[in-house]
Amino acid sequence: MVVHHETSSFAGGFDLTSPSTTPAATTDLPLLTIPIRNNNNLQYFGSVKIGSGGKDFNVIFDTGSDKLWVPSIECTSSVCKAHHRLDSTTFNPDMTHSSLSYGTGQVETKNGTDSVTLISAGQRTDLVESSVSGGGITDDSRSTFEYPVSVATSMTSKPFVSLQKIDGIFGMSQGSQFSQQHPLYSMYLSNDTAKEGELNIGGVNPERAADGVVVPTNWHDTQTPGSWSLDLVDIKVGDQRLGICTPDDPCTGLVDSGSSLITGPPSDVEKILAKIHPTCGTSDPAPPVTLIFKNHAGEEIEYPLSSKEYTIDFRDTNECQVGIGPLNMGHKRWVIGDTFLRRYMAVFDKQHNRVGFLKSKHDDETVGAVTRGLNGEHVVLEAGLSRTERIRRLGNQFLN
């Protein structure tokens, strides 16, 4: 498959030509850029304004879930009080409730709608009610927009009491209202806590892409309705394929910006961990780990990660961790989290139910993920835990 693209400028647009088997879509889109802050290479979050008075909330932009939720003023526990809480006269409850599980914790919410504004670079732009035309965003926006909002009436202590800089979750799954309104967007994650990433609505920032390439050469069709789950063909360590996915026993890989790690079935992950080790400030590299996905044409496309790229270097605590861990999400279900998404910027295309990957451009490509202790809390690095348990907790914190 060949994808042709042109970009006149970052602000000017994103010219997208779809595969011949999909109706052609050409868009000339404005780009709305939302800064994404880096919390110790474990979570990535930005700011939104919600409700009457436009109160600011820090939320994780999470492609693995579908709800926007923040703490409610009705929640008076010490956990809730450690965060911003929504007290909005414009919140309109719909009389339904939800229970959300996040690996090490749980949140109870009541659901409704309220006005929501994304905090973008240099401006504040209301979420637009978009007509989908060629996968893009039209200008038929209103000054305020009612958006599904859930408010947490209770939150467990772990992990939320430790994540005081982060208030809640902004779900951006394929089935979310966000993806319905903004059917084309990309996420660039920084590999250094001293630098910001970006959520780009309507396209890709060529300054964040290696060689300025802004349209993926390969697109990968989603496999599960409502989620960004792809056909994971296999995983290689060095030159050796592990054979963990077969036509008779296929794997799926959920592209999940709300998960810190690449995670998978414990027995399969152990095969990887037995062959690799973290590399922080060492000249003894471990073999690369390569994820193999099937593209739109049915071809196998490889995405390698070097040992530095799958290692997280916690320099303030002299810890060095592999960003791959075991997590039982069901048979042959993998989660493609931030370890992968730092190296490969994801482009999400709701109109054509597909995800593409672009190699990200980082200022210093000689190192992997570096945590400098400038702006985060170490939720997972608790004294006395085994290496396996630390990895498990690292991957589980915000995994739906």
Higher pLDDT pick, 371 / 129: 371
Does residue 11 register a pLDDT over 60? Answer: no
Interacting residues of 377 by C-beta distance below 8 A, sequence separation 6+: 39, 40, 162, 163, 164, 165
Higher pLDDT pick, 283 / 94: 94
Q: Per-residue confidence at 391, pLDDT binned at 50, 70, 90?
A: very low
**Residue 388 to residue 179: CA distance in whole angstroms:** 35
Lowest average pLDDT, out of 13-27, 68-82, 287-301, goes to 13-27
Q: What percent of the chain has pLDDT over 90?
A: 59
Tokens at 71, concatenated: 């703490």
Tokens at 53, concatenated: 């008075």
Interacting residues of 44 by C-beta distance below 8 A, sequence separation 6+: 36, 37, 38, 60, 61, 189, 197, 257, 338
pLDDT of residue 85: 96
Q: What percent of the chain has pLDDT over 70?
A: 79
**Residue 42 to residue 357: CA distance in whole angstroms:** 20
**Residue 65 to residue 247: CA distance in whole angstroms:** 28
DSSP letters of 226-287?
Answer: TS-EEEEEEEEETTEE----BTTB-EEEEE-TT-SSEEE-HHHHHHHHTT----SS-S-PPP
Tokens at 92, concatenated: 């309109």
- Tokens 């809390």 appear where? 377
DSSP letters of 107-166?
Answer: EEEEEEEEEEEEEETTEEEEPP-PPPSTT---S---SS-EEEEEEEEEE-HHHHTT-TT-
Tokens at 154, concatenated: 């209770």
Tokens at 142, concatenated: 């209103």
Bridge partners of 170, per DSSP, are 61, 68
Instruction: Provide the mean pLDDT of the chain.
Output: 81
Q: What confidence tens digit (pLDDT) does each residue in 297-338 have?
A: 999 999 999 999 999 988 877 888 899 999 888 889 999 999
Report whether the peptide linkage leading into residue 148 is cis, meaning its omega lies within 30 degrees of zero.
no
Contact between 213 and 186 (Cβ < 8 Å): no
User: What count of residues does the chain have?
Assistant: 400
Q: What confidence tens digit (pLDDT) does each residue in 228-264 have?
A: 999 999 999 999 999 999 999 999 999 999 999 999 9
Cα–Cα distances in Å, from 318 out to 230, 381, 390?
Answer: 35, 11, 15
Does residue 16 register a pLDDT over 50? Answer: no
Domains and CATH numbers, the chain: 32-206 (2.40.70.10), 211-396 (2.40.70.10)
Tokens at 98, concatenated: 């939800």
